[in-house]
Amino acid sequence: MVGEHFMTGDHACAEGGLAAGCSFFAGYPITPSTEIAERMSERLPQVGGVFIQMEDEIASMNTILGAAWGGWKTMTCTSGPGFSLMMENLGLGLVLETPAVLVNIQRGGPSTGLPTLVGQADMMQARWGSHGDYEVIALCPSSPQELFDLTVRAFNLAEEYRMPVLVMGDESVGHMSEKVVIPPADKLKVVPRNYTKKKPGEYWPYEFGKDEVPEMVKAGDGYRIHVTGLTHDKRGYPIIDAPTQDWMVRHLKNKIIKNRHKIIDVEETNLEDAEVCVVSYGISARVSHRAMELARDAGIKCGMLRLVTAWPFCEEKIRELAQRVKAFVVVEINFGQMSLEVERCACCKCPTYLVPHAGGDIHDPEKVFEAIREAVK
Amino acid sequence: MKKPAKEPSTVFETDLRIHPMAHYLRMDRMPHIWCSGCGLGSSMTCFIMGLQESGIDEKRVAVVSGIGCTGRMAGYLNLDSFHTTHGRAIPFATGLTLVNPDLRVVVISGDGDIAAIGGNHLIHAARRNMDMLVLCVNNFTYGMTGGQAGPTTPVSARATTAPYGAFEYPFNLPYLAMASGATYVVRWTALHLRRLKNSIAEALPKRGFRFIEVISPCPTAYAHKNRLGSGLDVMKFYRENSVIKHGADPREADIEFTGKIIVGKFLDIERPTFAELLAETVTAKVGGAR
C-alpha cells in the first residue's frame, strides 16, 4: 500500500495499524468507525493476521488484551456507546500494562446520540472514563493523513509505555476523503515489543527501572507469569493493602508523568506575537485555523495551539502561554472539556473563552472569528 | 516430652516439606483464600492431575480466570495465568488462543462469572467453537460477596438477595453449552475426583469449545444459608444423589434444590473450530503470511 492514495480517514487508520505491525483486530460494528473494522477484515488475512468480529465491545477490548499477551500487536475501534462499554477493560489493560490501540471515532452523544454525525464530547471520558486513578495517552488526528500517522504513533507509544493507547478521532475526520501518503517501511518508525532478556525465574512482570516501564513476555515462553486486575506487587501477585495500592497507582501515573515531554505533541502556529491563542484539536482545529486566518486578516494577533496529544495534557505549554497572551479561545464540539484543562492551567493569568458546539456539525469559522474578536477586546 | 520412637528418615522429611504438587502451584501464594469444606481445592487438584495425565507440556498451558472465588485459581497455579475482569475470561482467552494456536488455553471460573456477567461471551465462544477448555465451578451462589443468588441458584434455595427463596428459573449449564455449540460437555461434582481428573485429561488435548461443569459445595455461604450442613455433608449429599448417565440428554439434567444431580459426559463430538474455519475459508484463499 506504499504510495499516494485518496482515502477516507477510517481506512487510513486501518492502514496505519497495519503499517505499525498490527496483526490482530477484534471489534464490533458501530457508526462511524465501522469502516476501520471492514477494512481490517479484508486486509488482515492478506498479511497473515486475524480479524474477529466479537459479540460486543466489552469482549472486543478484552480479546485484544488477550491477543497482546499472546505476543501480537492488537487493535480495536469504536464510537461513543461502544467506547462506554470498553471502559471496563481499558482499565484492565492499563493495570495489566498491556500494549494495544483503541480508536474512538467520536460521534454526538450522550447515549445513542448522533450515530452518523460528528462530536468531540468523549475527551474527558477518555481521560477519566474507567474507574480509579491512572494516566492515559490520547492522540487527536485532524486529517486522514494524521489518522494514518497517529495510529502508527499510537502503536509505538503502546509498546514504549506498555499500555493501551487511545486515538480520539471524530466522524468528520473519519469519513473525510483526502490524500494519504503511506511511506515505505524503511521510512516509518515502528517500535517492536520490548521483550525481556531475563530468564524465567529472574523476571517479574511489573519490575521496572527509572523510566517506569516494565519489560514484556508472552504466554507460552516458560515464564509462568501471573497478572491480575487486582492491586498487585512487582511479581503480579495480588496484595490488598494501602502501601501496595500506593506503589502501583503511583507507578501507573509516574510512567506517563515522568515521560510526558517525550509523549506530548502540539502544533504551534503564529504564537510568537500572539495576543490571543486559539486552542483546538481534531476537525475543530481545521475550522479554527480558518478563523485564525480571518482574525489575522482583520489585524488581530491571533495564534493557534493544536493539541495533537490531548492526554497527557500540555500543561507547561499553557502555563507559559498564559504569561504572554491576553486570552485563550478553545474550540471543541462539546460544552467544555479540554477548555477546563486550559482554564485550569491558565491559572487566572488570562481568561479562557469556550466556543461550544453540541455536536452534529462542525463550527462555523465566522463564529469562531467572532469569539476571537470578543476575546481581545 | 516423649521422644518419638524412631527418627524420621530423610526421605520422609523431604516428602513432608515439599507439597506433592508444589511444581504446579505458586507456593509463595499459600495459604489460599478458600474456606474449609470448599470444593475449589479438590477441583484444582483434579485440574493439576488431569494436566499431568494429559502429558501436555505445562509451559504451553495458559489459564484465564474471571472474578470470584474460582477466579483466584489462576493465581495459585504455577502456569502462565491471567486474572481478568468479571465475566471476561472467555474473550481474553479468545485472543490468547487465536494468536497462539499451540497454546492450550483453559478458562477456570465460577457460575456467576461464566453464566451471569459473562453469559454472552460463553454462548458466543461456544457458537464459534473457539479452542478452549472451560472449567466452570458451579456452587449455585456468589461466594466471595457473601452468598447472593445467581443464574444457577435452584428454585426455593435461599440467598442473601433471595431471602424468601429463589424463584427465577436457573440455567442448566450443560444444556446451555451444548445448545450454543460446545463440542464436549461434561458435568461432575467435587466428589467425583477421579472422573473429573479423567475428563480434564481427556478434554485438554482436544480442539474446540469444551465445557466441564463441576458442582461444588460452598459451605460458608450457600450450604450454611440453606441448612445443608458442612462441606462434608454436602459431599455426602453428592454421593447419595448423583446419578451417572453418560450420553444423557442435557435437557434432562436440570438441577433442583436437594434433587438428584445427573452427571457424566453428555457430549463429545467433532466440528471444525473457528481457527480451522478461518484457515480453510479465508487464509487459504487470501494466502497472507505474517
Q: Mean pLDDT across the stretch B59-77?
A: 97
Q: Determine whether the interchain pair B80/A56 forms a contact, defined as Cβ–Cβ distance below 8 Å.
A: no
Share of chain B above pLDDT 90, in %: 90
* pLDDT value of position B15: 65
Q: Determine whether the interchain pair A50/B99 forms a contact, defined as Cβ–Cβ distance below 8 Å.
A: yes
Number of compact structural domains in chain B: 1
A108 to chain B nearest CA, in Å? 28
B27 within some domain: no
Closest to A152 (Cα-Cα) out of A141, A163, B195: A141
Q: Judged by CB atoms within 8 Å, which residues 84-103 of B form the interface with A?
A: 84-85, 88, 90-100, 102-103
End-to-end, the C-alpha distance of chain B in Å comes to 71
* pLDDT value of position B8: 46
A37 to chain B nearest CA, in Å? 16
Q: Which of B28, B62, B120 is closest, CB to CB, to A219?
A: B62
**Residue stretches of chain A with pLDDT short of 50:** none
CB contact, 8 Å: B276 with chain A?
Answer: no
* pLDDT value of position B287: 75
Q: Determine whether the interchain pair B83/A227 forms a contact, defined as Cβ–Cβ distance below 8 Å.
A: yes
Take residue A294 and report the three cell numbers written for it. 480571518
CA atoms of B174 and B211, how far apart (whole Å): 8
* pLDDT value of position A339: 98
Residues in chain A within 8 Å Cβ distance of B287 = 46
Q: Mean pLDDT across the stretch B184-212?
A: 98
- pLDDT at residue B16 greater than cutoff 90: no
* pLDDT value of position B13: 56
Residues in chain A within 8 Å Cβ distance of B84 = 62, 65, 89, 92, 229
Dihedral (Cα; A286, A292, A297, A300), 10-degree rounding: 180
Range of the domain at B269: 38-285
Residues in chain B within 8 Å Cβ distance of A1 = none
B108 within some domain: yes
B4 to chain A nearest CA, in Å? 39
* pLDDT value of position B17: 76
ipTM beyond cut 0.90: yes
Which residue of B76, B77, B96 is the best one to mutate when testing the A interface, meaning the one whose CB has the most A CBs within 10 A? B96
Residues in chain B within 8 Å Cβ distance of A239 = none
Name the pLDDT band for B196 (thresholds 50, 70, 90). Answer: very high
Name the pLDDT band for B18 (thresholds 50, 70, 90). Answer: confident
- pLDDT at residue B12 greater than cutoff 50: yes
Q: Which of A65, A88, A229 is closest, CB to CB, to B83?
A: A229
B133 within some domain: yes
Q: Which of B80, B91, B94 is closest, CB to CB, to A220?
A: B80
Residues in chain B within 8 Å Cβ distance of A72 = 99
* pLDDT value of position B288: 74
B235 within some domain: yes
Residues in chain B within 8 Å Cβ distance of A91 = 85
Question: Can you list the domains of chain A with their CATH numbers?
Answer: 3-187 (3.40.50.970), 267-376 (3.40.50.920)
- Worst-scoring range by mean pLDDT, A55-64, A175-184, B5-14, B191-200? B5-14
B84 within some domain: yes
Residue B107 sits in a domain whose CATH number is 3.40.50.970
* pLDDT value of position B1: 44
Predicted TM-score (pTM) of the model is 0.96
- Please return the burial class of B217, using the count of CB atoms within 10 Å of its CB with bins 0-12, 13-18 and 19+: buried
B55 to chain A nearest CA, in Å? 16
Q: Determine whether the interchain pair B92/A63 forms a contact, defined as Cβ–Cβ distance below 8 Å.
A: yes
CA atoms of A264 and B236, how far apart (whole Å): 64
Residues near A151 by beta carbon (within 8 Å), at least 6 away in sequence: A12, A13, A16, A17, A20, A75, A101, A103, A141, A167
**How does DSSP classify residue B139?**
-
B227 within some domain: yes
B248 within some domain: yes
Which residue of A24, A131, A224 is the best one to mutate when testing the B interface, meaning the one whose CB has the most B CBs within 10 A? A224
CA atoms of A244 and B230, how far apart (whole Å): 36
Q: Determine whether the interchain pair B95/A225 forms a contact, defined as Cβ–Cβ distance below 8 Å.
A: no
End-to-end, the C-alpha distance of chain A in Å comes to 51
Q: H/E/C letters for each residue in A118-158?
A: ECCCCHHHHHHCCCCCCCCCEECCCCHHHHHHHHHHHHHHH
At residue B256, the 3 state secondary structure works out as: coil
Q: How many other C-beta atoms are found inside a 10 Å radius of the C-beta of residue B287?
A: 10
B120 to chain A nearest CA, in Å? 7
Residues in chain A within 8 Å Cβ distance of B81 = 224-227
B72 within some domain: yes
Contacts made by residues A271-275, CB under 8 angstroms, sequence distance 24+: A271/A303, A271/A304, A271/A305, A271/A321, A272/A303, A273/A301, A273/A303, A274/A301, A274/A302, A274/A303, A274/A324, A274/A325, A275/A300, A275/A301, A275/A302, A275/A325, A275/A326, A275/A327, A275/A376
Phi, psi angles (nearest 5°) of residue A8: -75, 160
- pLDDT at residue B289 greater than cutoff 90: no
- pLDDT at residue B61 greater than cutoff 80: yes
B278 to chain A nearest CA, in Å? 9
Q: Mean pLDDT across the stretch B22-27?
A: 95
